[in-house]
């Protein structure tokens, strides 16, 4: 039986870059031949440079956040405002759970293994995050906002 929240294992069988930290489809690792790699009709060296020294082939969301710092700060406050009001340890726990879930391709089971906790704990943390942010991880547009806010949080932490 499949859960209706976006925090289930519905994507466990999809193209798996889960928990690997490697570039996904279209990403260009060293010597990559994807659509964005030089010589493949993609970006050349001039186009590949981005604000903040971020390599676009690795994390496009980082490029977007670094390229629009004012909008990123507004997005961070809008999406993660209530989360930022939590105690640092509690905030780190929820952000860490979200990060693990994303890196594991949306698999609660794999995120639980990675975090060394029960899968219900992961579900509960993600539901709490959804309540705090008023964003559902099962709605694509809201998930995009959450991922961009997470990147804005990382970017802000790296600057300050």
114, 104 Cβ separation under 8 angstroms: yes
Whole-number percent of the chain with pLDDT over 90: 53
CA angle 28, 31, 35 (to 5 degrees): 40
Q: What is the pLDDT of residue 150?
A: 95
DSSP 3-state of 44? coil
Residue 6 lies in a domain: no
Are 35 and 86 within one domain?
no
Question: How many domains are contained in the chain?
Answer: 2
Please report the DSSP string for 31-82 in residue order.
T--STTSTTTTS--HHHH--GGG--TTT-HHHHHHHH-HHHHHHHHHHHHHH
Report d(CA 157, CA 145) in Å as an integer.
Answer: 18
Average pLDDT, the chain: 74
Are 113 and 144 within one domain?
yes
Q: Is a pLDDT exceeding 50 seen at residue 9?
A: no
Phi and psi (nearest 5°) for 40? -115, 25
Are 123 and 89 within one domain?
yes
Report d(CA 67, CA 59) in Å as an integer.
Answer: 13
pLDDT in tens, 24-50: 333 333 333 333 333 333 333 333 444
Residue 78 lies in a domain: yes
Are 103 and 45 within one domain?
no
Nearest to 108 by CA among 19, 17, 15: 19
Structural domain for 89, as ranges: 68-159
Whether the full predicted model's pTM is greater than 0.75, yes or no, is: no
């Amino acid at each position: 039986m499949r859960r209706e929240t976006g925090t289930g294992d519905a994507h466990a069988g999809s193209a798996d870059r889960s928990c690997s930290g490697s570039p996904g489809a279209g990403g260009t690792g060293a010597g990559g031949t994807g659509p964005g790699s030089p010589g493949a009709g993609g970006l050349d060296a001039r186009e590949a440079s981005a604000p903040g020294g971020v390599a676009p082939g690795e994390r496009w969301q980082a490029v977007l956040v670094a390229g629009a710092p004012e909008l990123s700060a507004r997005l961070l406050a809008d999406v993660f405002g209530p989360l930022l009001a939590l105690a640092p340890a509690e905030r780190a726990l929820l952000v860490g759970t979200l990060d693990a879930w994303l890196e594991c391709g949306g698999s609660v089971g794999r995120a639980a293994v990675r975090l060394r906790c029960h899968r219900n704990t992961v579900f509960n943390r993600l539901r709490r995050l959804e309540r705090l942010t008023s964003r559902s991880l099962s709605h694509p547009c809201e998930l995009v906002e959450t991922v961009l806010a997470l990147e804005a949080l990382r970017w802000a932490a790296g600057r300050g």
